[in-house]
Amino acid sequence: MVISVNIDKFTIMKTMVDQGSSVDILYWKTFKAMRIPKAEMMSYNDHVVGFSGERIDTKGYIELYTTFYEGKSSKTIKIKYMVIDANTLYNILLGRPSISRLMAIVSTPHLAMKFQSISGDILIVHVDQKLACQCYAESLRVEPMRYDRSPNWKSSRRKKCPRRKA
């Protein structure tokens, strides 16, 4: 789910909401673009384990007030972001810690996230469908890994089975 959020005076687009992630991540390129002084980042000398088991070093962490909004209504919470230097299409990855702090319900079929505002109203943040489609299209441009290393890997691919006649 791809949304936009506000941090300080910046609107951060390409923010991925990932219910499977155990950390909130601010990517290094976004950190630099926001011109946050490096001195504000706290040291963190450990790594994060990625989806496929790879270990990714962190540059540190930073706590930033993040505003979620829909129209004129909004809710701001403090999020502890791990700062990671990784090649990604997204600027921020919001995981379970921020979703939990926001007390949000994420609905993939409805492409929306619901949570209660300070005033008690229910806010619904919808997916930025155009941006989500752009991210998906960009991700398809990456050449996939070949698992079959044989010289005839193209001819060894499974062919479609013919349909059975009833």
Give the Cα-Cα-Cα angle 68, 64, 31 (nearest 5 degrees): 100
Average pLDDT of the segment spanning 71-75:
85
Percent of residues, the chain, with pLDDT higher than 70: 84
Q: What would the pLDDT profile of 125-146 be if each residue is shown by its tens digit?
A: 999 888 888 888 887 775 544 4
Mean pLDDT of the chain: 84
Average pLDDT of the segment spanning 98-123:
92
Of 67 and 49, more confident:
67
The helix (run of H) or strand (run of E) holding residue 131 is helix 129-140
Domain ranges of the chain: 2-140
pLDDT at 73: 84
Cβ proximity of 18 and 95 under 8 Å: yes
State the residue for tokens 């998906």. Answer: 136
Q: Beta strands 73-84 and 10-17: pairing type?
A: unpaired
pLDDT at 17: 95
CATH class of 2-140: mainly beta
pLDDT at 143: 52
pTM of the model: 0.77
Rounded Cα–Cα distance for residues 89 and 136 (Å):
9
Q: Which two structure tokens, joined as six digits, stand for 29?
A: 């390129």
Cβ proximity of 101 and 122 under 8 Å: no
pLDDT at 152: 52
Rounded Cα–Cα distance for residues 51 and 13 (Å):
23
Q: Which two structure tokens, joined as six digits, stand for 141?
A: 């441009």
Rounded Cα–Cα distance for residues 122 and 105 (Å):
11
